[in-house]
Amino acid sequence: MVQTESPLSGTAAAAWLSRADAPIVGATHGPLAGLRFAVKDNIDVLGLPTTAACPAFAYQPTAHAGVVHKLLQAGASLLGKTNLDQFACGLNGTRSPYGAVPNAFNPAYVSGGSSAGSAYVVATGQVDFALGTDTAGSGRVPAGLNNIVGIKPSKGLVSARGVLPAAQSVDCVSIFARSVGTAAQVLQAAMGYDPLDPFSRPLALASSPFPAQFRFGVPDTLAFFGDRAAEAAFQQAIQRLCDLGGTPVTIAYAPLAAAAALLYDSALVAERYAAVRRFFDAHEAEVIEPVRSILASGRAYSAADLVDAQVRLRAYGQQAAAMWDGIDVLLVPTAPTHYTIAQMQTDPVVLNRNLGAYTNFVNLLDYAAIAVPSSLRADGLPFGITLIGPCGSDWQLAALGQRYHHASGMLQGALEWPLPELQALPGLRPQAVVRVAVVGAHLSGMPLNSQLTERQARLVASTTTAPDYQLFALPGTVPPKPGLLRVAPGQGIGIAVEVWEMPVAHYGSFVALIPAPLGIGTLALADGSSVQGFICEPQALAGARDISHWGGWRAYVQGELQK
């Protein structure tokens, strides 16, 4: 039912605009079999009205949107359509005559928009994934404010046929999920060139992850609009990326901000008016404020004004492109602050613009992006980050985003569910790996373990060597390290080790960090198998303390601490 006035708190029922009588299903098998999804109500679904949150505009589609058809054919089932800022014009989720969509953590706060309902039903576990759209951040801001993942693909990667345009040349269909792995599965099923979409294009995506030692850009000017909790959370995010192997690089934000401003403060806004011109000119009074004023402003510009704005955008893009020479990925807050619904209704234009401080430029400059959860603030609200890369970096961003999300320790959405295991992403080439057994300072929780994790190594087993080894505490090493020595059968014991699996591409840089008298050799394990592992030159053990009776370095260290 249409609400004439939005309440000061959103209501859960406002998230849905229409529900199918029974789930709409396509193929009975496929890569998305068993997954349920919803779509934003500016995307066509056969059998359900498309309203774009404007009752007077509603129509009955004659076919599924191209992306909906592909997901149904991949085995997913569709439950219904979700609320949005009217005509996808907004970043807050309150600009709908059907009511304000609440935040999944606190209903007094905005959910973010314009894909508000899609984000809410994912965060609350009502569906496994949902489709939104993203012109200026609508597939990212709601993800950040609801503790979920939002993939904003490279433009043209996913067909927008059957999607009501907001600004057609920069629109993207976006994907919400509670984990990167699920969102990536959906992207794999949804992507593909569509000649019936005038802005679709065949894209060759990078298929190798970012290097283990990567460089990430951080804007030289950051605005949080007085929100110290968000500012502190972003500093924590920078440190987490450093822990994952990143090096921060300060980048000039001015050309990005200048490009972003063109979206509404230049003739580029005429594209929003053009998207619904026939309806708007005949039914302007049926459009709510401030959407009405934004669309109407597009009438004031000439064709020459539009050309001028496009040239300025290209100039800012050329300036911004220089940053990619010094970084692999750009890090920004998904949203710089979080507003209540009451605050948003009091100052709807300025506060909405603040939410898009780090989003508007991405599609204008033809970048890809992924929003991932980062932390919970002291007030219990989520804070998220967005990783941005050049066009075609979608799988690289997903791989780093998945590592970051899991390193955060966050739960799924607004649920008490832990994240699933890390998943192999469909668009990345399988990497050759090597297994290496560690015995001392590289064990989990030990001082040098980060040398493994920053090279994308993962723990695959905790076991012991064959009973042919002795362990010694090496004197004068910083941090303290043991030396492992193989001895004659019957003269040693099994020593506790961890076996880690590491991409071969990173193994050389790992071995280069190992100081003499330690080195890498072949270790025999208790199950009879052999792996690469740490060994010690025998002459370095003269005078070293034999600690074999402890059975391993961790037990020895704990025993020493108890003295």
Question: Considering all CA atoms of the chain, what is the largest pairwise distance in Å, rounded to the nearest integer?
Answer: 92
Beta-carbon neighbour count of residue 313 at 10 Å? 19
Give the up-direction half-sphere exposure of residue 20: CA atoms within 13 A in the CB hemisphere: 16
- With tokens 């792996």, the residue in question is 531
Beta strands in 55-192 (DSSP E): 77-82, 129-134, 149-152, 172-177
Beta-carbon neighbour count of residue 163 at 10 Å? 26
| Catalytic, out of 40, 70, 81, 152 | 40
What burial letters (b/e) apply to 458-473, b meaning 16+ CB within 10 Å? eeeeebbbbebbbbbb
Q: Are 434 and 498 in contact (CB under 8 A)?
A: no
d(CA 33, CA 210) in angstroms, rounded, equals 30
152 assigned to active site: no
| Catalytic, out of 96, 114, 154, 174 | 114
Q: Are 249 and 216 in contact (CB under 8 A)?
A: yes
Beta bridge partners of 521: 533
- Residue 248 sits at φ, ψ, to 5 deg, of -75, 140
Beta-carbon neighbour count of residue 416 at 10 Å? 7
Beta bridge partners of 388: 330, 369
Comparing C-alpha atoms, which of 416, 438, 457 is closest to residue 497?
438
Q: Are 84 and 114 in contact (CB under 8 A)?
A: yes
The reply to whether omega before 517 is within 30° of 0 (cis) is yes
Q: Which helix (H) or strand (E) holds 333?
A: strand 329-333
Name the token pair of 372.
């991932």
The total number of residues shown for the chain amounts to 563
- Alpha helix segments (H runs only) across 249-365: 254-265, 270-275, 277-283, 291-297, 303-321, 341-346, 348-355, 361-364
The reply to whether omega before 290 is within 30° of 0 (cis) is yes
Between the CA of residue 35 and those of 91, 115, 175, 186, 510, what are the distances in Å? Answer: 27, 20, 14, 10, 40
Q: How is residue 544 annotated by DSSP?
A: P
138 assigned to active site: yes
> Which residue type, as a one-letter code, is found at position 514?
I
Q: Burial, 29: exposed, middle or buried (Cβ in 10 Å; 0-12, 13-18, 19+)?
A: exposed
509 assigned to active site: no
So which residues are the catalytic ones? Answer: 40, 114, 138
